[in-house]
Structure 1
Amino acid sequence: MTERLQRTRAARGRWPSRRPLADLPGGTAIPLVWSFLYFFFLLTGYYVLRPVRDAMGASADVAAVFPASMIDWFQARGISLGDFTLQVLFTGTFVAMLLLQPVYGALVSRFPRRVFLPVVYLVFIAILVGFYFAFDSGTSGRGAAFFIFVAVFNLFAVAVFWSYMADVFANEDAKRVYGYIGAGGTLGGLLGPELTTWLVEPLGVANMLLISAAFLGLCLLCIVMLMPHARRREGGQRRGEIGGDILAGLRLVAREPLLRAIALLIFFGVGVGTLLYNEQAAIVRSLAADDARVAVAFYSRLDRWINWLVLIVQVLLTRRLLVHLGVAKVLMIPALAILAGYMLLAASPLPLLIAIVQVGTRAGEFAIGKPARETIYTRVAAEWRYKAKAAIDTVVYRGGDLTFVWVHKLLAAGGSHVVFGAGILVAAAMTLGAWRVGREQARLPE
């Protein structure tokens, strides 16, 4: 053994272990295990719900999606609500998110996550049990309520997870353990669609909601087990601003070139995804007819392929790309790939090709685009991270959903070639946004 290696190991204070977890700082192993399980259970439960939500959006049974009174009201005015299913659902989601975001901001600003999270999860479990009875009995309007609920669930349960982790782990510890915790979420994102694919046919859609509720119950256990660690970290730390102020955030976005560029990238990035989602929903609607189980199984398989691809890219490429190419070049990879995908679809909008581009689009966002964008927020002021990011993630993101779901309705009259031809322009705008973000972020300190 060389003298240099001996000095290095002595400086570390102990001999390094060949087991990665053995080198964790003292006291982090137990919260790491519970955090890993928490994220695993959370994303498993979420991805059990997501295919059900997507199937409701693609359902041809308008009575399953909207209340009978709402259908009658539109019918009396000569409007077939079934022709505007996704448009109405996305509009309802946008309104619900705008109304609930201040509630979310108030909760996380005034109470520790360890205090309000258990209550939120108990409410979600109760709601899922209520949806079980609604789906089991075939209650009219269950689809729209469930579609919007999953978006709310994503905001309150999934988005706040990492805020809770910041309550549990100190900054230096977080650098060591977040990779392991993230792996738990990736595995959950793989298991959820698998469970739905295997079980939705024999058990039916309603029982999948109980399975998701069971996973949320396991999340609740993890939250409780992490409470002592969060309480120790809480100390005299200042809370607040985690939820962000939408109006203050929008003012920051309007004022700062980098934030404007990120908003542009997000808006048109959502646009390309929404156009694809709507074209795919039309195909699923024609294939699945009135059988929701077929649609749920299709969407769960799609989520499975996406999460497998995300896992492969995360493990093999993401870190290397960010380290060797930098944020600016990495942001251009998914943007240019989507632009190329839309060019192919404009020439030949085959159902299989639409599914392939959809998988590539979402996988590129989750595995490359989002990690690259999130690294930018580590180099900016807290006001940007909390207020501006909250505004972009709600108003800009859901506003993009709302805008392009109606744009698709206008374009769809001309057929898929017209939709994807216009989509090339949207993808080009997204690429311009990615280039501008890369240029502006280069001016930030490392």
Structure 2
Amino acid sequence: MPLLHRAIHARAGELAPALAAFALLLCLFGGYLMLRPVRETMGIAGGVENLQWLFSSTFVVMLLAIPAYGWLNARVPRKQFLDWVYLFFASNLLGFAWLLWRIPDPLWAARAFYVWLSVYNLFVVSLAWSLLADVFDRRQAKRLLPFIAAGASLGGLLGPLLGGLLVGRLGTAGLLVLAALLLLPTLPLRRYLMAWRGKGGAGRIGVETEPPERPVPGNPFAGISLVLGSPYLLGICAFVLLLSCTSTFLYFEQARLVAALFPDGQQQIRVFSLIDFVVQALSLLCQLFIAGRVAQRFGVGALLGVVPLLVALGFLLLALLPQFAVLAGVMVLRRVGEYAFVRPGREMLFVPLGAQEKYRAKNFIDTVVYRGGDAISAWLKALLDGIGLGAALVALGGAAVALAWSLLGWRLGSRHERTAPSATSQEVEP
């Protein structure tokens, strides 16, 4: 299929693993994005004014989960680690499905599910991207990851559509069972990708110093020490914190306005599903036709820096016109930009690094740092609302944060392009 090879920038032997990685993200994000509207509705059920408590609870649970993740990572071979984590979370989904089937509307269960799904999302997504950063070398990642990320957008496109269509028939519990079933195909896909890694991916380069048949060495808190000892990883932390801050400010405004305009719970699920559908459709188009060409021509810095700059302009527009239509447009812009450009670019930053950085430091950044940024931003937003600052001033602050986010993205991209670690210095085109 030479046309498809050219369309996704795949070279000889790369098409099948690229499609397998695409399918893995499709299943993963299809299940998660089907449940995201359910989570948003459950968050609103507890009161928009209490969302900062849910964000803080998520951060605390993340802190408790990281040592368990690190302990397991040091004992399970790297090539099998994803299977253990995904089967654990699939069993959790089935447990919540049983709980919501037996007790349909308890407020405490809604809050528990909101926190759990926020933790689930970051762990399963972070681990999937760790796997892909491990499977593909740096040159392959730059060519293929934008297309592979389109699998996440297609899954995100189908997930909200299925959720909106099936919630009336299956109920919330049925959607959770379906999401658990969608995790199962990722297991054989993972096995195929790790087998190909040694023949045509990152494992073929030179001598394998960190074989995937072994666990990732280090204590349960190794991710923290790795981050603190690396200016490069600290820069990625700052990038994630700024991303989280802008996301949280927009998220709170969206929740507040949807709660005011759409009081019915199932109507809220449909509204959130529609927003997710639009976001994923636009993301898919950008990933298939734009993101890969931008990465090839302008480098990782363009993927990381342009979207935050556009978000800063969106915040300025929101300061002038603080209306739901404008907010929805900025929210869609930010999420499309993150999924289509920022996320693939951010994952490319980890490709030249070793297994400990990919599986330990990266997970710490994607979970604790990200949710810590969420919690801090949530309380800051609540404080600003409490002292009566207008939406225009909050939007101007968001513009300043997004501008700093853009500048840091360009800098990290430039640093990545200059990096030539020994692990990748022997890279050759297949």
Give the TM interval when normalised to the shorter protein: 0.7 to 0.9
With the length of structure 2 as denominator, give the TM-score of the two structures: 0.80
CA contact (8 A) 2:89 2:120 kept: yes
**What SS is found at the alignment partner of 1:138?**
coil
Mapped pair 1:48 → 2:23? no
SS of residue paired to 2:74? helix
Encode CA deviations 1:278-303: one digit per residue, 9 max, x unaligned: 010011111232x3211111111111
Evaluate the alpha carbon distance shift between residue 35 and residue 377 of structure 1 in structure 2; reply closer, same or farther with a 3 A threshold.
Answer: closer
Larger RCO of the pair (alpha carbons < 8 Å, separation 6+): 2
1:129 to 94, 99, 102: 94
Decide whether the 8 Å contact of 1:345 with 1:354 is kept in 2: yes
| CA spacing shift, 1:133–1:343, aligned 2, 3 Å | same
Are 1:369 and 2:342 an aligned pair?
yes
Indicate the residue corresponding to 1:194 in structure 2: 161
Structure 2: stretches of 5+ with no match in the other structure? 426-430
Once the two structures are superposed, the pairs formed by residues 67-146 of structure 1 within 5 Å of their partners are 82=47, 84-112=49-77, 115=80, 117-136=82-101, 137-146=104-113
Give 1:434's aligned amino acid.
G
Looking at structure 1, the residues matched to 124 and 323 of structure 2 have their Cα atoms a distance apart, in angstroms, of: 36
- Given that 1:93 and 1:148 are in contact with CA atoms closer than 8 Å, whether structure 2 keeps it comes out as yes
Shift of 1:359: 0.7
Identify the residue that residue 399 of structure 2 maps to in structure 1. 424
Measure, in 2, the Cα distance between the counterparts of 1:33 and 1:313: 18
Distance 1:328 1:163 in 2: 20
Select 1:433's aligned residue among 396, 401, 408. Answer: 408
**Any unmatched runs of 5+ in structure 1?**
1-15, 63-81
Displacement of 1:201 in angstroms is 4.0
2:258 to 284, 288, 297: 284
Q: Distance in 2 between matches of 1:174 and 1:324?
A: 15
1:148 maps to: 115
CA distance in 2, matches of 1:388, 1:172: 18
AA matched with 1:57: G
Aligned partner (choices 379, 382, 387) of residue 406 of structure 1:
379
User: Deviation of residue 221 (structure 1)?
Assistant: 6.5
Q: 2:95 corresponds to which letter in structure 1?
A: G
Query: What residue identity is the alignment partner of 2:32?
Result: Y
Alignment size in residue pairs: 405
The code of the aligned residue for 2:400 comes to L
Identity across matched positions, percent: 36
Which letter maps to 1:410?
Answer: L
Q: Quote how far apart the aligned CAs of 1:264 are.
A: 1.9
Q: Aligned AA for 2:58?
A: T
The residue type paired with residue 375 of structure 2 is L
Aligned partner of 1:331 in structure 2 is 304
Q: Which secondary structure state, in structure 2, belongs to the residue aligned with residue 110 of structure 1?
A: coil
- Kept in 2, the 8 Å contact 1:310–1:363? The answer is yes
Question: For residue 378 of structure 1, what is the amino acid of its counterpart?
Answer: V
> Aligned to 1:309, what secondary structure does the other structure show?
helix
Distance 1:378 1:345, change over 3 A: same
Change beyond 3 A, Cα 1:246–1:346: farther
Distance in 2 (CA, whole Å) between partners of 1:270 and 1:305 is: 21
- Residues 51/268 of structure 1: CA separation in 2 closer, same or farther (3 Å cut): same
Cα pair 1:114 1:230 within 8 Å, conserved: no
Aligned CA distance change for structure 1 residues 237 and 399 (closer, same or farther; 3 Å): same
RMSD over aligned CA atoms reads: 3.6
Q: Structure 1: which amino acid aligns with 2:53?
A: V
2:241 to 267, 281, 290: 267
Kindly state the Cα deviation for residue 189 of structure 1 after the two structures are TM-superposed: 1.8
Question: Does the aligned pair in 1 maintain the 2:77–2:214 contact within 8 Å?
Answer: no
TM-score normalized by the length of structure 1 = 0.77
1:425, distance to aligned residue in structure 2 (A): 2.7
C-alpha spacing 1:440/1:127, structure 2 compared with 1 (3 Å): closer
Change (3 A) 1:266 1:127: closer
* Cα offset, 1:179, TM superposition: 6.9
Equivalent pair of 2:127/2:359 in contact (CA under 8 Å): no
The one-letter code matched in structure 2 to 1:284 is V
CA-CA distance at 1:276 after TM superposition = 0.2
Aligned mates of 2:266, 2:319 — CA distance in 1: 30
